Chain A
Amino acid sequence: MAEPSMHRFLLAVLRRDLTLAARRRGDWLIAQFFFVMVASLFPLGVGPEPEMLARIGPGVLWVAATLASLLSLSRLFADDHRDGSLEHMVLSPEPTVLLVLGKSLAHWLIYGIPLLLIAPILGLQFNLTWAAILTLEISLLLGTPILSLLGSVGAALTLGLRGGGVLLTLLILPLYVPALIFGAGAVDGVMAGTGAEAHLSLLGAFLVLSLLISPWIAAAALRVSLE
């Protein structure tokens, strides 16, 4: 099992990021409002018929959640990079993988979980049934950590680059497609009566895979970006 010092490092990274985010609540609020605004734009664009909205709802909410999460990812390493603390953390004897993992976890807690709290309200706006909303919650619960994990790779690769935020989105979105398909598909499955188990299991498998692979690649990318 991991030695106690590894746990402590992970917790320290986590606690630091949470504290820093608590001091800048504005950023966090903006991301949540973005989620609500993007989701609300769709009915304005496609019309308010309840049946159609229910049909597109799961997809729209998934895409909106993805975009809202992506907004905040470019800052994952950037703030620490700017004041030099990132370099110190990477050069320290603690494994960089844990640094990345801790930051991804913090990002998910700060930016991912609130989406889960807001989604049911938006689900009602899209005329989704309670069963669909519940499935949406479960799928987002599995999907948002994937985004934080894949996003950490993108953030590490684009560290310090001009136009980094948009470039990050461009790089990560294709990789995220399976999560979108399985996640939105799970809700569709429940709405169509065919069930969501298969989708959710695949989504879960994708989460496990991301957990196993992303932190390592992101750590390597971080070292590449800081040389």
Chain B
Amino acid sequence: MEWASWAEFWNMGGYGFYVWGSYGVTAVCVVVEVMWLKQAAADSRRRLKRMQSWEEQ
């Protein structure tokens, strides 16, 4: 598949909005999921540590 120029690539034969709207949202979903995962893990650890310190008193 030969793209004549970057402009043509982004334009996707006139369908750029739909193609990049699709790929873009998918990328966002993946990034959000990974970030959410990391955040949840950090929150969880913090909370568990706190509970641990209470229980040890």
- Asked if A and B form a direct contact in the complex, defined as CB atoms under 8 angstroms apart, the reply is no
